[in-house]
Amino acid sequence: MKINRHLHILFRNPVLAGFLASVFLLIPVLLLVYQRHQLYREEKNRELLTAANAKKDKLDAAFRNSLSATRMLNFVVERDTNISDFDREAARILKENQYIDAVELVRGGTITHVYPLKGNEAAIGYNILEDTLRNKEALKALRQNKLYFAGPFPLKQGDTAIVGRLPIYRNNRFWGFSAVIIKLSTLVRIADFVPDETSPYIFQLSKINPNSGVEEFFLPQKEPLPSRNTVSVFLPDGEWRIYAWLKNNTWLIPLPLFILGLLLSVTGGFLVWFIARQPAALRKLVRERTELLQRSEEKFRGLVEQNLVGVFILQDRHFRYVNPGMETITAIPRNKLMQSLRIGDIIHEEDLQFLGQHLLFSAGHSPHSRSVSVRMIRPDGAIRHTEMTLSPIIYEGNKALLGTVADITDREVEEKRIRQAVIDAQENERREIGMELHDNVKQILAAVVLNLDFAREVIDDKEKSVTLLQRVKEYTLSAITELRRLSHQLAPNMNTDESLNGKIETLIKIMQDGSSFIIRFIKEDSPMEIPAALQLTVYRIIQEQLNNIHRHAKAGRVDIRLQYADNAIQLTVKDDGIGFDPSGKNEGIGLENIRRRVRNFDGSVRIISAPGNGCELFVRIPLKKFAGDYSHK
């Protein structure tokens, strides 16, 4: 009763009712604007972080080249104490490293060699360790015993640059430094720190001055570093920091939404004020129309709730309604679909009869939904594989069909690719088995036959016959060993009482006999019984990766580590071979097979490699799904 009395009082004061309605409508609008702004800021921060990391990657590439150059200079010093061929080696280093402007040798703390010498003569004889303004970062490189980049600071010979110094030791005694010089202008060019006017980002490079402890900035940007809406990444090699921020003010982004919400709240308040002034009959009419509108909205909501897929309504095979998802799948504007096309116009001719039967059945007597797979043809001739569901409904008083369409083309393509990969793997395996039988077992058996023929000719000579028969026996045992190795490689027995570690050790012994690299196996005991299927998967992954290393890596050593942590199997296979660039190389069938096997057990695969740095394969397979089926040890 109190509520009705308060509403009655409220509607007797239309101005107050309109004002309160505007306030209540404005509050969710403000919340929505704030949420939209936060989402936009998070998105832009991710973009900024990506842009900053791209600059960091470019600088890291220059630093890796610098590390190679300083190591090359170290080798020159170790090879020739007099350093007679410094200019020749330095010229080759600069030719191969486009990011480096000059190289130096520092004997003790004094710069003794610079290439190119022209323009850098002033650096000769300069003792970097006696200069208290410049020696802190050199001493840091000495303490850390690794390449460390000092600067940017003004050079003795002019210009501003960063200097990377790597300590050199001879006979376990400090000899000096090998150093590379990268001018600040070169560094800016490498990372493209000054983008064109169309770029939305601004960058800044900074470092804490080791003498003053104050952060210094090195890029000549017009805009000062803002206190908000800025991201940064850290480069440990020289303790630099890269900042990135946007040119535009992010507060302006949700402004149209705020204006729209403000208009909506004012309009709502005006409507409430207007309605509060009307007689009861008018309020009743508005209530009836509002209910009709709500029912229409509910009907429309039922159609668009599945807006991730195509939705349409058919009457007499004509489209009466299509949603944006249907436009995306068919690549045909919705007005064209509803005005001039029928369902049969976009279906592959081989699927028309099949689809027609389902249309008739669904529209006739079936009260249930029916699903059918059909191919749709786009205007450009592209074929999309779809899965269509048809349901009978009443639309505007007449029978109709409500259809949903899901595009499964990518799934079909992926399944086809996987099937082809499996076939290729099987063919490669058969080819390898044939080669093994031909190159090893066949040759051994041929030797047996030759020795038996010879034994028959000298059968009267007991000593020769015994020698030949002993040789036949050795060849036969060798053939048996080869066949055992092949059979174990093809179908290792995973149902024996031997542990997973034992099976892996057997595999390593077999692979070690025919390989040029040394294999070390670091293992842990399993905390639970591992099912045979999972044991076979781990076994095949190790076998596949060892085969990859044998064929391509040119490795001298392989480390295999099998651990159990965080309720998961963690397998690492690491080699010291030639490596490869994972971002620029298509994975072969071997790595694809490994990924497919791991995906079957909801696991993950990570590959770390670089040219000249070997390869590390990391596999993690969770054990939670097996915990209830297998008892703990």
285: in domain: no
Does residue 487 share a domain with residue 502? Answer: no
Partnered with residue 561 across adjacent β-strands are: 522, 572
114 and 204, same structural domain?
Answer: yes
Per DSSP, 549 falls in state: I
Q: How many domains does the chain have?
A: 4
Q: Is 5 domain-assigned? A: no
CATH of residue 315: 3.30.450.20
Q: Please check whether residues 580 and 456 belong to one and the same domain.
A: no
The pLDDT tens digits for 84-93 are: 778 888 888 8
Summarised one tens digit per residue, pLDDT across range 313-352 is 888 888 888 888 888 888 888 888 888 888 888 888 877 7
Helix pair angle (2-11, 14-79), 10° resolution: 90
Residue 440 to residues 470, 515, 551, Cα–Cα distance (Å): 20, 15, 18
pLDDT tens-digit readout, 74-126: 877 777 666 777 888 888 888 888 878 888 888 888 888 888 888 888 888 88
Q: What is the average pLDDT value for the chain, to the nearest integer?
A: 77
pLDDT score recorded for residue 202: 81
Residue 342 lies inside a defined structural domain of this protein: yes
Asked which of 440, 456, 491 is the last residue of a domain, the reply is: 491
Pairing of strands 148-154, 160-170: antiparallel
For 581, other C-beta atoms within 10 Å of its C-beta total 9
271 and 353 co-located in one domain: no
pLDDT band with cut points at 50, 70 and 90 for residue 633? very low
Contact 94, 118 (CB under 8 A): no
pLDDT at site 574: 95
Residue 20 lies in a domain: yes
Q: Which residue in 395, 399, 392, 321 sits closest to 361, CA to CA?
A: 392
Amino acid at position 482, single letter? E
Domain boundary among 277, 295, 323: 277
459 domain-assigned: yes
Measured between alpha carbons, how far is 137 from 193 in angstroms, rounded to an integer? 24
Same domain as 189, residue 110: yes
DSSP 135: H
CATH number, domain with residue 499: 3.30.565.10
Q: What is the mean pLDDT of residues 34-54?
A: 78
In a domain, 294, yes or no: no
Residue-wise pLDDT tens digits, 285-298: 667 777 776 676 66
CB 354 within 8 A of CB 362: no
Average pLDDT for 540-546 = 88
Same domain, 134 and 205: yes
pLDDT of 618 higher than 90: yes
Domain boundary among 491, 517, 545: 491
The answer for residues whose C-beta is within 8 angstroms of residue 134's C-beta and 6 or more apart is 128, 150, 153
Strand boundaries in 87-212, DSSP class E: 102-107, 110-115, 148-154, 160-170, 173-183, 201-208
146 backbone dihedrals φ, ψ, rounded to 5°? -155, 170
Mean pLDDT computed over 588-592:
75
* Residues 540, 458 share a domain: no
Cis peptide before 116 (omega within 30 of 0): yes
Give the pLDDT confidence score for residue 616 in this predicted structure. 94
Residues in the chain: 633
State the pLDDT confidence band at 559, using cuts at 50, 70 and 90: very high
Residue 292 lies in a domain: no
Q: Is the pLDDT of residue 436 over 70?
A: no
Residue 1's pLDDT is what? Answer: 46
Task: State how far the Cα of 598 lies from the Cα of 604, in Å rounded to an integer.
Answer: 6
Alpha helix positions (H), 80-127? 86-96
pLDDT, tens digit, for every residue of 177-231? 888 888 888 878 877 777 666 777 788 788 787 777 788 787 776 666 676 678 8
More confident residue, 609 or 624: 609
How big is the chain by its Cα radius of gyration, in Å? 38
As a whole number of angstroms, the distance between CA 29 and CA 258 comes to 7
Q: DSSP character for 368?
A: S
Sign of CA dihedral 202, 208, 214, 216: negative
193: domain CATH number is 3.30.450.350
Residues 429 and 508 in one domain: no
Give the residue with greater pLDDT, 392 vs 247.
Answer: 392
Residues 397 and 436 in one domain: no
Average pLDDT over residues 358-372: 65
The reply to whether 469 and 510 lie within a common domain is no
Residues 152 and 262 in one domain: yes
4 within some domain: no
Same domain, 363 and 417: no
CB neighbours of 170 closer than 8 A, spacing ≥ 6? 77, 78, 81
| Domain of 349, in residue numbers | 308-407
Nearest to 247 by CA among 54, 47, 36: 47
- Residue 345 DSSP one-character state: G
